[in-house]
Amino acid sequence: MKEIPEFRNEDEERRFWSEHDSTEYVDWSKARRGLFPNLKPSTKTISLRLPESMLEELKLLANKKDVPYQSLVKVFLSERIESELQKHDPQKIKG
């Protein structure tokens, strides 16, 4: 295996890996999946217009589940996205 060079910054490293094959530097057969249980994904604030009746129904459902309505919306969206992705790629492994 070739030795991975020292990089001065992320841009230099990014350029290097865009031009080189990592299999010459890393034995991927020895790789293990990393777990980062405390890592929180980046979020972005958006504005979403909903009919008032839909928002009230969401709040009612969220209240019954004892969760904030915005959290419930994220759960609903996540479940639907996963379902749609499964339709298009049944072999997709969630992770």
- Rounded to two decimals, the pTM is 0.54
Q: What is the mean pLDDT of the chain?
A: 92
> Residue for token digits 């994904």?
41
For residue range 36-65, what is the model confidence (pLDDT) as tens digits?
Answer: 888 888 889 999 999 999 999 999 999 999
Q: Which domains does the chain have, with CATH numbers?
A: 1-31 (no CATH), 42-95 (1.10.1220)
Integer angstrom CA distances of residue 73 from 8, 25, 68, 83, 84: 42, 43, 9, 15, 16
